[in-house]
Amino acid sequence: MAHALQTHVQTMKTWLANTKAEWSPLQELKYLGEILWQLK
């Protein structure tokens, strides 16, 4: 679980760097939801 979260943070940072976009709470929830879904 912790590893998946670390991967998520890294992906988020990469995504931000690549898109130069704001990371909105809605995107965050959607992204985390997808990760949690994959972990099930």
Q: Contact, 1 vs 39, CB < 8 A?
A: yes
Provide the phi-psi class of 2: left if phi over 0, else alpha when psi is between -120 and 50, else beta: alpha
Q: How confident is the model at residue 23, as a pLDDT? A: 67
- Which whole number is the average pLDDT over 15-35? 78
Q: Contact, 8 vs 31, CB < 8 A?
A: yes
pLDDT surpasses 70 at 8: yes
pLDDT surpasses 70 at 14: yes
Percent with pLDDT over 70 in the chain:
88
Angle formed by the axes of helices 2-19 and 25-39, to 10°?
140
- Which whole number is the average pLDDT over 1-30? 77
Distance separating alpha carbons of residues 3 and 26, to the nearest angstrom: 22
